[in-house]
Amino acid sequence: MKQKLDSVTEDDLNMIAYFILERGNITRWSQWEERKPVIAKEFPELLAALDALTVAERTVRAIVQNMKITVTENERRNDSEPLSSRPGNWR
């Protein structure tokens, strides 16, 4: 039978550090969902930062996707001139 721990353990801290710093994704930790409420009580700033990171990653993806769409639309409008040769282009 699994013991329900009511505080963050040293193992939890090691796993958090490993999965965030080494693997880049805390959700890969198989016990994340189980331990998340306890971790949130002791380290609410970690959960807030992870939520902010999720929002930031989604925002970056949306911006990049929009850039890709914009580039494609611009190239269709002017097929004869490569986008990189236009004034003000960042490439």
Residue 84 contacts by C-beta under 8 Å, 6 or more apart in sequence? 91
35 and 71, same domain (yes or no): no
Residue-level pLDDT at 72: 76
pTM for the full predicted model: 0.68
5 and 35, same domain (yes or no): yes
The total of structural domains in the chain comes to: 2
In a domain, 54, yes or no: yes
Domain that holds residue 7: 1-42
pLDDT digits (tens, 9 = 90+) for 3-51: 568 999 999 999 999 999 999 999 999 999 999 999 999 999 999 999 9
